[in-house]
Structure 1
Amino acid sequence: MGNVFTLCIVRDNDRILVQKRHKSPFKGYWNAPGGKVELQESPKEACIREVMEETGIYLNDIKFRGVMTVSNALKKVGTEVLMLFESSDFHGQLVSSKEGEVDWVEMDTLYSSKYVPESMTYLLPYITDCDGIITGKLVYNRHKLEVCDITLQS
């Protein structure tokens, strides 16, 4: 098994907090904040820490939304785990970091942008419009999404 990562959809009504990434994966793309779960850290703690470090926003409360595996079709090892969270309870002021530029973007804009990872456009409606726990897998082949299998459990 590979690393464990978090991804958090931070909502302010119809706006989503996104970060234009300065490094791979998804360099130059707008994506939700998140990152690697560190040693002796829970996924929830990692999510709160990563959002704060990357955006300046402190999450008062977060909701666990699901888990996805992420792998590469060409590599036979190194499946990663992506823990999904959501929050609309936060405080603080946006601050860009070395990780990337941050901004609030209208949800509709994210769906039509060519600079949003395809996986984000698939996951977003499950997180923003549905209740329940999300499970599934994302499989990439040469940085292109080849398989996106999402299940919503009520």
Structure 2
Amino acid sequence: MLNYNLCFIRKEDRVLMINRHHAPLKGMWNGVGGKLEPGETPYDSVIREAWEETGIGLRSARFGGIVTWETDGRFAGGMYVYTADLPEEYKDAFASPAESEEGILAWKAVDWVVQPDNQGIAGHVRHFLPPMLAGAEPSEYRCIFKEGKLQACLTMPLQEESARNAAAGAK
């Protein structure tokens, strides 16, 4: 099992992003999420993290795949990634930008998020977010870093065990 999760909450052609106050990725825009707690399923964790970071109570989230990373040739970690539509009751209630303990929350246009020259977004997001938002079959997105710079993001079939772990607890 992986230790982290990430969620991209969609509202029409925008996704809710957080500009993190703390490492990792301090000062960069990314989805909301965090660390799985002991005994927690990835699905339950992403629902909890979305609530804690945004105050949005998601009724469901779609598993999009896993993102793993290698640093200088060694496995360095990974996360379960989900997408969710903003529940109807929050459509008018959630103003942005909004300050939170974790960072600044704001709705960002998907086209802006995935721009190749956008230096304010975590660099690997533009590789895995478009297929996830399009509803593609969950995959593994293996990000390869060398000396702290993203070299490649490979899309690979998802191992059955990873898919089972991510779906556990889904309603």
Alignment of 1:136-151 (within 5 A): 136-151=141-156
In the alignment, structure 1 residue 88 sits paired with structure 2 residue 85: yes
> Is the partner of 2:140 in helix, strand or coil?
strand
User: Structure 1: which amino acid aligns with 2:105?
Assistant: V
Moved more, 51-60 or 130-139: 130-139
Q: Which runs of 5+ in 1 are unaligned?
A: none
Q: Which runs of 5+ in 2 are unaligned?
A: 159-171
In the alignment, structure 1 residue 101 sits paired with structure 2 residue 104: yes
- TM-score when normalising by structure 1: 0.85
Q: Distance in 2 between matches of 1:103 and 1:142?
A: 30
> Is the partner of 1:60 in helix, strand or coil?
coil
Tell me the CA shift for residue 109 of structure 1. 1.5
- TM-score when normalising by structure 2: 0.78
Tell me the CA shift for residue 138 of structure 1. 1.5
Q: Does the C-alpha gap of structure 1 residues 120 and 32 become closer, same or farther in structure 2, counting only changes over 3 Å? A: same
The structure carrying a bigger strand percent of its residues is 1
Aligned CA-pair RMSD = 2.1
Paired residue total: 150
Stretches of 4+ aligned residues off by more than 4 angstroms: none
CA contact (8 A) 1:16 1:106 kept: yes
Q: Distance in 1 between matches of 2:148 and 2:131?
A: 23
Q: Distance in 1 between matches of 2:145 and 2:45?
A: 24
Question: For residue 48 of structure 2, what is the aligned residue in structure 1?
Answer: 49
CA contact (8 A) 2:68 2:143 kept: yes
Tell me the CA shift for residue 152 of structure 1. 6.0
User: Structure 2: which amino acid aligns with 1:45?
Assistant: D
